[in-house]
Structure 1
Amino acid sequence: MMMQERTHTDAEGAILFDADASPQVGHDWFAPDYWRGRGALRTQPGGRGGVAIVATLVGECVLRHYRRGGLVAALMGDRYLWTGADRTRPFAEFRLLAEIARLELPGPAVVAARYCRHGMFYSADLITRRIADARTLAECLAAGRLDGELAEEVGALVARFHRAGVWHADLNAHNVLVTPDGLHLIDFDRGRMRIPSVAWQEANLRRLRRSLLKLGAAAGSEATFEKAIWQPLLYRYGRTLKP
């Protein structure tokens, strides 16, 4: 899938957008209050990332404000060091998502990205199309819906991205979406294209495993988790990675 990439630059910062989705995207698109005033702000959950669901002219979208996590958040909040437009978090994620779409992988369709300059720093936002009727893998686990069949689907999903050389910086159960039509991988902040390598691919899988264990996937016993969930996931992963 190809897109028509355009950039609008002004004194405030710059917006990178898909002109095929919308011929014009202004700074107001990135302000939840703008959508609230039009009755188009669907939800605005709390937590890191400042995610809002908004009803735009191109359909329901996810508006995400970039925020730091951990100890750095107390010092930097939502500010990042400026090292050039093409190296900003939103522009890098926009272009990675565009490549994911070109490769026909199941990721979120990107609409627009923005940075705002603040001297030596910048703040940032990203708009992607909302994936309808989705639950996270973490939610499926909590609801008792993570079984061997779903685990195999997760393995196949991850393998497709790995085979294409897409590295996800934070592969965890919250970033895998399950829908009636299939699975999707989301949140590619800091992700990038890499030459396929067993080292980073296995590190990615270990990260996913830690996430599942942290969420209680081995509440019965780790041996049961290994047999019922993890081994089916790895089996399908291997079959898909090297068909």
Structure 2
Amino acid sequence: MQAVVIALALGSAAAFQPSTPAVSTSSALAATKDEVVALAEANPDFLGKSIGFWDPLGALDTNFWGLGNEGTIGYLRHAEIKHGRVAMAAFLGYLVQSTPLVSGPHKLLPFKGYTPGLTPPEQWDAIPLYGKLQIFVLIGMLESYGEILDPHYCNGGLPGYYPPIKGKRPELVFNLYDPFGFFKENSEEKKARGRLVEVNNGRLAMFGILSLLSEGTVPGSVPALKGLIPPYSGNCMIPFEGDFTIFS
């Protein structure tokens, strides 16, 4: 599934804050193949200009779980946006927590890291099991709430949208999608451009965090980062590695 999402993401390469041409609101994050192709070809980044639409695995012709083709595209678009948001947070968090954690050349930023002496992956390993479980439970609750939106992103809704968390009183509303109300006064054209910028930044962040983790796990695997990323001897793909020994 991750390979399919990555293939869809490569419809055009990532770029920070591109100078995006006007994109109609109906095609900004639409869930039809023709509109996704048009969006990829209109993207002003390198691949958008030189290659245009690229879907080597045929992801836009698939049908997941009986959703239909358009529902499947909506699902993939939503998954890409979600992965991009997580990657942007992970990339920034890695930089913030990397710094002079170890002596020598491993100093990406001028201030101290979160846990002295530990690299970012090691800081996760150091969190107690119950702390990790609390994090995953909160994520699960937010994910579950996000699935109640109507219309759903697989049924013509806006991919990437998250419904406001509402309380029993009107003032008890927390909007994770726009917590500070920045988007309220934006025109539809500006909102469409902002969504495209977010997708592009998310794509680049996915490559960025994978590069950091790869260089830490296999020093020298990313030549541009050689000597900048502290080595990590654990396995970042096993988030609970060693945690369940308490039950043995």
Q: TM-score, normalised by structure 2?
A: 0.25
Higher relative contact order (Cα pairs below 8 Å, separated by 6+ residues): 2
**Which is helix-richer, 1 or 2?**
2
* Alignment TM-score, normalising by the size of structure 1: 0.25
The structure in which a higher percent of residues are strand is 1
